[in-house]
Amino acid sequence: MKAKRQAQAFVKGQISPRQIKAIHAVVGKLGLDDDSYRDILMQRYRAKSCKELSWRQAEELLETLNGAPAVGAAPCGRPVSPGRPPLKYTDMDRRPGFASAAQLRLIDAMWNQVTRAEDEEAKEKALDSFVNRIAQVAGLRMLKGWQVEKIVKALEGMGAVIKNRAE
């Protein structure tokens, strides 16, 4: 009986209970707060809850949150050649509402110009603390796209410059 109801929901195109659980698990794994999660739903799907999504929209959201390209989407980013390590923050790309990997690399490069920290671990910890103080988020990886400019301006105020910037 349960399988029949699930099959009917699939035919109607409604989100499945499995998808709801999976979305909530991925959101928790990413550390998204409820407001950020709801912002993503509203911006992308005009939905207040994932229960309002269609089956296909739920699959698309899961693919996006998991970092997999959506079906039919063009691949983005630079392909990784054998033997070449992936660029820093590549795993942070394609998260709706969040800063892109390129933006995170820009901030990281600017931070390296102004930080006094010696080793990589101390630099990352200090950068996360700085981002928390300026943007009130848990760290660089939780930075929203609209907050990038605020961080960049703060770093420029500290003396960092954007290299290779087209004027």
DSSP sequence for 130-164: HHHHHH-SSSGGG-BGGGHHHHHHHHHHTT---TT
Residue 119 φ/ψ, nearest 5 degrees = -100, 165
Cα(134)–Cα(62) distance, rounded to whole angstroms? 30
Confidence at residue 164, expressed as pLDDT on a 0 to 100 scale: 53
Question: In order along the chain (167 residues), what is the average pLDDT of each group of 10 residues?
Answer: 49 80 84 81 87 88 66 44 71 84 89 92 93 92 91 92 59
Check: CB of residue 98 under 8 Å from CB of residue 92.
Answer: yes
* pTM (predicted TM-score): 0.51
Please tell me whether residues 60 and 94 are part of one structural domain: no
Please tell me whether residues 6 and 42 are part of one structural domain: yes
Confidence at residue 75, expressed as pLDDT on a 0 to 100 scale: 46
> CA dist 61 to 12, 22, 124, 132, 141, Å?
19, 10, 29, 27, 19
Residues of the domain holding 20: 2-65
Please tell me whether residues 117 and 58 are part of one structural domain: no
User: Where do the H-state alpha helices sit in the chain?
Assistant: 2-12, 17-30, 34-45, 55-65, 101-114, 120-135, 148-157
53 in helix, strand or coil? coil
Confidence at residue 12, expressed as pLDDT on a 0 to 100 scale: 59
Confidence at residue 77, expressed as pLDDT on a 0 to 100 scale: 46
Cα(116)–Cα(26) distance, rounded to whole angstroms? 36
Confidence at residue 130, expressed as pLDDT on a 0 to 100 scale: 96
Identify the DSSP state of 97.
T
| Number of domain units in the chain | 2
Please tell me whether residues 95 and 149 are part of one structural domain: yes
